[in-house]
Every structure is written in C-alpha cells, then in structure tokens.
Amino acid sequence: MGTAAHRTTTIIVALLTAGVVGLVGCSNSSGPSDEIDSGFVEPTSPEKVLLNFERAYDERDVDEYLDCLSDDFKFHFTEADQGGWPNLPPWFYKSDEQQVHENMFGDEWNVETISLTLTVASVETIPGGDLRVPGDIVVIVADADLRINLSGGVGYNATDPQEFRFRTVSGSGEREGRILWEMFEWHDLEWDNGARVEFAGWGGIKYCFLESLSETSRRTSPAEVIDQLEAAYVAMDTMNYLDSLSGDFQFFPCEEDVQNPELDIPPVWYKPDERTMHGNMFDEGSYVESISLVLTTTEVVHDTGADPEDPLDDTYVHTEDVYSLMNLLNGDAFIVTAPSGFHLRVDPDEEGPYGETMWEIYEWYDLAGEGRGDVSGHREWTTWGGVKAMFR
C-alpha cells in the first residue's frame, strides 16, 4: 500500500441543501436495446457515457470507468488543488486515471463504499469542434456529490461542479459501424458561493489514491507531442525534448537562413544535431538563463494515409504560431516569432505505459517569412533555426 493510503484526514464539505437528484435527462434515456449484459448501456450519446461513468463509480468497476475515456483523455485539476497539494501536475492522463481508480475501487486502500450522484446543470454543443478535435463537441456541466467512505469512520466528500467534454468515435470490434461517444476532457471546477466551500475538489481526492505519476513520456496524441515539446523547452529538459522526436527526425531551416552565407546554416539537420544543440542550450553551464515558449495551433491537417481504415499510417501536420523568449545570463535575449510546421506520425517503436499508441515529430519546418517579428535592441535571430544554430 502506498503512503497515500495512510492519508486519513477527513475532507469536510457542506452538502447540497437540495435533495439528491439523479443525472438529469439520462435516467430514462436508455431502452432495452441499449442495455449490455453488465447492466451498462451503449455509449451512443454523451448522457449515456455519464450514466456508465456514474454507475462505474457506484459499482467500483475500473474497466467500465476507463471505457468512458478516450485514449488521449486528460483530467484538469483546479488551480486551488494544484496550489494545495504538493507535486500535483496540471492534469492526469488515462494511465494515471487507471492507477488511481484501481486503488480507489480496490480492496487494499481501506475504501468501504463509494456513492456518486451527478446532476446536469447545462449541456452545450460546439459545432465543428476545434482544430484538435474534429466534429462536434458536447460540453456537459454537472453538479457532483461524491462520497467515499473509508474504514474507521473517515472519508472524502466532494461537491464541486464538473465540466465534461465529449466527442464521437467510430466503434470497433462488436461495436464496429456504430457512432459512439467518449469523454476526452474533464475539468474540475472551483466553487465558492458563500454557501458551499470545497476544501479539496475531486482532483484532490484522486491525488490521495495516486502512488506515482506515470512515465513522463505519454505522447498519446499529436497534440500531446506539441505540449511535451513546449514543456521541455520551458523546463530546459533535453531528454523529454529529444523524446518527442523520431529517430530519423529532420529539421528544415527557412530558405532565407540557408541562403545567408554569414549564418552558415545547412538546409537540413538531424536528431544527433538536435541532441548536441539542446545539450549546449539546456544543460548546466549553458549561458541560457531561462526560456519561455508559447505554441498556438493555427491549422491541423490530417492525412489518413494509404489505408484510411488503419489509424497507424495516419499523419498530422500542426502549424503553430510561436512566441519564444530566451534570456541569456549576460542580460541579452533572443526572441522567436516565426511560425513552425510540425509533421507527426505514430511512433512504431514505443507504446504508452498501458499500451497506448504514441506519436512523434518526424519533420519540423521553420516557416519564416511574414510574421517573423521585429528585431530591435538585443532581440535578434527571429527564426528558430537561427537560434538553434548558435548552439552547434
């Protein structure tokens, strides 16, 4: 049993003054044809996913709970929980959710009973989704009443509202040919209206059942690879930066830099070159003091490959607006504002900690031209390739 199992402090919360209400709009939404042998229902709507979600908690069924979540699922913690719990990350991945709920739903962490009631407060459809989620997105905000009773008369309660985000997915196996729904994001929302104050939200309770975070490399979607690269630059972490790149990775500087004889920049370089450059840039003894980086997705192009039915040969191109500020120890700084194009594919050599498909960047294009940004004072080298080349 991990040390978190010994946390027996009761989280005191004020319960809802209204009566306990079931999942609004869902209790009568499933007919006999939707019923599965286990008593759960086919996830043919977001509301039915929540029905299964709620029942999985009540019955402490890890597999059914995980079946509600997409492979690239993220649970987002509140800022209050991140500030109140040591080493809490901004989000959990599905692999973290599996570990947490195996402990929460199991028999070894002193949990006697769990009850969950979700009351839908609002449902919103976002037509067309966004750049990273094709198709419509359905957002459901629900009030929660989660009660976890431990042996010894202590327990955890959470009544904070939750925001669940759903998208469609094509069924596979016995469900092939059916359009189903899955939860791909879950945001724990803070609530303090003077009548109900949370001392720890649902996320804080989850953290009590975590033994250790899953491995840092969890590139289970193209968007997560971009997130990992961004985080690696800010943390100046060479290992996680290189982990986001394929073994045959190629970086293509902009044509203007390549044609400038004063820069002496080759038309392409490779992962070993990136290892040298970022070792010099990030490692102890570097003259770089800090780096800030913000990548903003402006376009996503999805190529289904030679076999549209096989997701393993898919590729994605992410075009990202860039703002990077590199502060040097001598007070100078380099700013990068030229956009970049990242080409991503499935990683054939690695799986996630629970068998998830992993993604990697195999080509990166420095898209300098319009939008390179102004050069003034000590702010110079406004292409990413130009900055990298300084650390060869």
Handedness of CA 282, 288, 290, 291 (dihedral sign): negative
CA atoms lying within 13 Å on the CB side of residue 5: 16
Q: How far is CA 15 from CA 7, 171, 192, in A?
A: 22, 39, 13
Whether 192 is in a domain gets the answer yes
Whether 272 is in a domain gets the answer yes
**Claim to verify: residue 269 and residue 181 sit in the same structural domain:** no
Closest CA to 359 of 224, 232, 251, 233: 224
Tokens 């970086």, residue?
251
Q: Output the domain CATH number for residue 81.
A: 3.10.450.50
Rg (CA), the chain: 24
Residue 206: the pLDDT is 92
- Say how many domains are in the chain: 2
**Claim to verify: residue 186 and residue 304 sit in the same structural domain:** no
Q: Which residues contact 193 (CB under 8 A, 6 or more apart)?
A: none
Q: What is the mean pLDDT of each run of 10 residues along the chain (392 residues)?
A: 32 27 41 60 95 96 96 86 69 90 94 96 86 80 94 87 92 70 93 49 89 71 90 90 96 92 92 96 92 93 90 93 92 90 94 76 87 40 86 91
Residue 89: the pLDDT is 72
**Claim to verify: residue 45 and residue 182 sit in the same structural domain:** yes
Residue 251: the pLDDT is 98
Range of the domain at 371: 222-389
**Claim to verify: residue 202 and residue 250 sit in the same structural domain:** no
Rounded Cα–Cα distance for residues 311 and 43 (Å) = 22
**Claim to verify: residue 141 and residue 89 sit in the same structural domain:** yes
Return the number of other C-beta atoms located less than 10 Å from residue 223's C-beta.
20
Tell which of 162, 178, 208 closes a domain.
208
Q: Decide: 250 and 362 in contact? Cβ < 8 Å.
A: yes
Q: Which helix (H) or strand (E) holds 240?
A: helix 238-243
Both tokens assigned to 178: 């059916």
**Claim to verify: residue 354 and residue 228 sit in the same structural domain:** yes
Closest CA to 222 of 281, 157, 302: 302
**Claim to verify: residue 160 and residue 288 sit in the same structural domain:** no
Backbone angles phi, psi at 200, to 5 degrees: -160, 135
Q: What is the dihedral of CA 329, 330, 335, 341, to 10 degrees?
A: -50
Residue 14: the pLDDT is 27
**Claim to verify: residue 106 and residue 188 sit in the same structural domain:** yes
**Claim to verify: residue 197 and residue 134 sit in the same structural domain:** yes
Rounded Cα–Cα distance for residues 40 and 175 (Å) = 14
Residue 198: the pLDDT is 43
Whether 215 is in a domain gets the answer no
Whether 293 is in a domain gets the answer yes
